[in-house]
A and B are shown apart, each in its own frame.
Chain A
Amino acid sequence: QTVVTQEPSFSVSPGGTVTLTCGLSSGSVSTSYYPSWYQQTPGQAPRTLIYSTNTRSSGVPDRFSGSILGNKAALTITGAQADDESDYYCVLYMGSGSWVFGGGTKLTVL
């Protein structure tokens, strides 16, 4: 059973930079997993931020960026703002028509 790992929580100061990661319980994340990232605030549907590792979805501010860092996918927020306080989920395509979400990271901006 493949587990996609994310930090349960993270904190960043307004204007600061934070990098959230998305790893595998066994193995390394590469672009072949087509990692994507979604933002969700309480009571709302998820919003697509980043797809295929590093492409920003339409309308997403350029302070959000995606990459591969070492053996993990990463979401970096540069110049964090108060309304970036949300839950962030990565999802990996595992092949054969199967996707797996990470457990999500609760980001606090304070």
Chain B
Amino acid sequence: QVQLVESGGGVVQPGGSLRLSCAASGFTFSSYGMHWVRQAPGKGLEWVAFIRYDGSNKYYADSVKGRFTISRDNSKNTLYLQMNSLRAEDTAVYYCAKDQRVWGYCSGGSCYYFDYWGQGTLVTVSS
């Protein structure tokens, strides 16, 4: 079955950097786009970034553009999120989520949603 396991969270000072990983199994990782979604303590979900199945295109929320970089290693079935210039407002649980499109194609009108989620990893930005 599909499994997504995040790691790399922790406590970091404002202005610091952190790299999150998401290990994927149970599906052909190289065929699917992947997302990062975060949730600040007591707050709602926020989409952070998306990367296409082959890494050819990357998209970011305005709140993280220029500071965060999404990447993937299809040989290792792993998704990454490099977070630089961290701010207190980046404190959140970070989830990786699988996009349902195979090779970016919609199927039968079904499109643009997250079909599997990891359990999340907590990032705390604090001095």
Binding site for B on A (CB under 8 A): 34, 36, 38, 40, 45-48, 51-52, 55, 57, 87, 89, 91, 93, 96-104
Contacts and interface: CB of A to CB of B under 8 A. Distances in A.
Contact of A103 (B35, B44, B61, B114): B44
Majority DSSP secondary structure for residues of B touching A: strand
3 nearest CB pairs, A to B = A97-B59, A93-B112, A51-B113
Contacts of B118: 45
A93 B44 contact: no
Interface in B46-60: 46-47, 50, 57, 59
Interface of B: 35, 37, 44-47, 50, 57, 59, 61, 95, 97, 100, 109-120
Contact of B110 (A40, A47, A52, A96): A52
Contact of B44 (A36, A45, A102): A102
B113 A36 contact: yes
Given A46-B95, A51-B100, A55-B110, A101 B47 contact: yes
Contact of B115 (A57, A103, A104): A57
Given A97-B50, A99-B47, A103-B44, A47 B59 contact: no
B76 to A, nearest CB: 22
Nearest to B50: A97
A48 B114 contact: yes
B44 A101 contact: yes
A93 B33 CA distance: 15
Given A52-B109, A52-B111, A97-B59, A47 B117 contact: yes
Contact of B114 (A36, A98, A100, A102): A36
Given A45-B120, A97-B57, A52 B113 contact: yes
B44 A89 contact: yes
Given A45-B119, A104-B45, A34 B59 contact: no
B47 A91 contact: yes
A107 to B, nearest CB: 14
B57 A93 contact: no
